[in-house]
Amino acid sequence: MHKTIIPLCLAGTLTATGAWAQDDTIQIGVPVFLSGPAAGAFGQPERNAAELLFDSINEGSVPAPYDSEGVNGRTIEATFSDEASDAVVEYRNLVDRNGAEVVIGYTSSANCKSVAPLAEELQTLTVFVDCGTPQIFEEVVTDPTYVFRTGLTATTDAVGAARYLVDTGVDLSRVAGINQNYAWGQDNWRDFTGSLEALETGSEIVSEQFPQVYVGQYGAEASALLTSSPTLIFSSFWGGDLEAFVLQAAPRGLFARSQVILTTGEALFPTIPDELPEGTIISARGPFSVFAPENELAEWFRTAYAERFGQEPTYPAWKMAQAVLGVKAAYEKAGEGADSTAAAEAMENLEFEAPSGTVRMSLGNGHQAAQSISYGTYVLEDGEPGVENVITYSAECINPPADQTAAEWIAAGFPGAECD
């Protein structure tokens, strides 16, 4: 008897899941990191933001222009999935088994790269939230229909960082870098040093540290950085690694002796605002969080998020909110009864409002968002983390033109860049 029960249950689940996709609901698959080292820094805020947005959209409590209930009146039903598993297999499961009409998520560039061609094959609107590799629309899918990315590429971080340092007159004679030894860290360092060259700073690279990712111990690297006496230290560390680096390097005087720039520094606000030395140059990888413009959506998002989760949203949460609102905007532009294909068509070259201001899907054949990036120096105002000396670089200043890859553009010295 026992033997027959299991296959029967299995068959039951198989048939039931297919039937869920009804017209009054819209299935959205959300793959984010729910386990592993990236879960705390990215997965959790992304998941929180997605849940908040889905619930608020279903209730119709998001401010205008998103104050209608649901997506074209359809209630959102979300399936969260863990990115820390085989991305290709689980993407198929989300779409084929769970009947996801839209997939919003992905933080890892490796996952974005492997999923992008599959999204085109399965003809499912797929919006990447946070993965940074510029290759998605440069090499992987050069003629996209269903794949979009509402977040900026890693290149814009590095280019923006170099411009900020030059514009604020930071001493760039001796430059050092500490970045994680994997694609993200390597690409950031390459783009940053390339940008310094393009801006003709004449910098000497005095130390390049590439510790293993997720090591958590940076004593040796901090010493190596100190002895090379750099005037500037660049780091693209994130999450637990960034926290550990700041906690270990600051007491050694690294931040006092050199100017330090942390491209993901904003993410430290909820965790170690008191330990992060003031004067450190930080960014939020786009116009998010403290760099966000003052508008009703931003105000609503900040308050609603803090109320529900007891913490200010960090930039991954802002990026998730942006992606979800982009999908809602696309569906509503496509009109009543729109499906995945119609929404994807409408999302091309779309301009939509987000808590971070207006987002224009103007790059990558209309599939990649162009947004500004801001840098500033960290300051504690009455115990509250904030930034000053903020400079914002427009999308036209820090993104390559449509016909050039990021690497070519940097090597050629930013041709066509329009900076104010």
Partner 1 sequence: MMKTDFRREPLHIAILAGLLILGFFLPDWMRFLLQTALAGGLVALGVALQMRAGLVNFGQGLYYVLGGYAVGMLAAKAGITDVFLLLIAAIAIATVAGVVLGLLLSRYREIFYAMLSLAVSMILYGLLVKAAWLGSTDGFNIPAVTYLGWTPDRTVRPDVYYITTAVLTVLACLATARYLTSGAGMLCEAVAENEIRLEYLGASSRKVAFIAIVVAAALSGLGGGLFAMSTGHVDPLMTNWTTSGGFVFVALLAGRGSTIAPVIGFFLLELVRTYALDFAPNAWQMILGSVMLAVILLLPNGLWSLTEWRRKA
Q: Which residues bind partner 1 (CB under 8 A)?
A: 13-14, 34-35, 79-82, 85-86, 88-90, 92-93, 95-98, 109-110, 113-114, 116-118, 121, 133, 135, 139-140, 181-184, 186-187, 190, 213
Supply the minimum distance, in Å, between the C-beta of residue 15 and partner 1. 10
Supply the minimum distance, in Å, between the C-beta of residue 3 and partner 1. 11
Supply the minimum distance, in Å, between the C-beta of residue 120 and partner 1. 9
Pick the closer one to partner 1 by CB: 30 or 242. Answer: 30
Pick the closer one to partner 1 by CB: 113 or 285. Answer: 113
Q: Given strand 75-82, what is the order of strands in its sheet?
A: 75-82, 25-32, 102-105, 125-128, 147-149, 368-370, 357-363, 351-354
Pick the closer one to partner 1 by CB: 81 or 283. Answer: 81
Pick the closer one to partner 1 by CB: 112 or 398. Answer: 112
Supply the minimum distance, in Å, between the C-beta of residue 91 and partner 1. 9
Question: For helices 219-227 and 239-249, what crossing angle results, to 10°?
Answer: 60
Supply the minimum distance, in Å, between the C-beta of residue 400 and partner 1. 19
8 A C-beta contact, residue 393 and residue 374:
yes
Supply the minimum distance, in Å, between the C-beta of residue 205 and partner 1. 16
In whole angstroms, give the CA distance from residue 265 to residue 28: 31
Supply the minimum distance, in Å, between the C-beta of residue 41 and partner 1. 16
Supply the minimum distance, in Å, between the C-beta of residue 83 and partner 1. 10
- The amino acid sitting at 118 is L
Closest CA to 161 of 145, 143, 175, 149: 175
Burial of 120 (0-12, 13-18, 19+ CB in 10 A): middle
SS (H, E, C) 331-374: HHHHCCCCCHHHHHHHHCCCEEEECCEEEEEEEHHHCEEECCEE
Supply the minimum distance, in Å, between the C-beta of residue 407 and partner 1. 11
11 CB-near residues (< 8 Å, 6+ apart): none
In whole angstroms, give the CA distance from residue 38 to residue 261: 21
Pick the closer one to partner 1 by CB: 42 or 66. Answer: 42
| 3-state SS, residue 22 | coil
What b-and-e string marks burial along 232-254, b requiring 16 or more CB atoms within 10 Å of the CB? bbbbbbbbbbbbbbbebbbeeeb
8 A C-beta contact, residue 300 and residue 63:
yes
Pick the closer one to partner 1 by CB: 48 or 280. Answer: 48
8 A C-beta contact, residue 155 and residue 211:
no
Supply the minimum distance, in Å, between the C-beta of residue 186 and partner 1. 5
Pick the closer one to partner 1 by CB: 317 or 417. Answer: 317
Pick the closer one to partner 1 by CB: 213 or 292. Answer: 213
Encoded tokens for 165: 């340092």
Pick the closer one to partner 1 by CB: 120 or 345. Answer: 120
Q: Report cis status (omega within 30 of 0) of the bond before 65.
A: yes
In whole angstroms, give the CA distance from residue 341 to residue 368: 17
Pick the closer one to partner 1 by CB: 179 or 201. Answer: 179
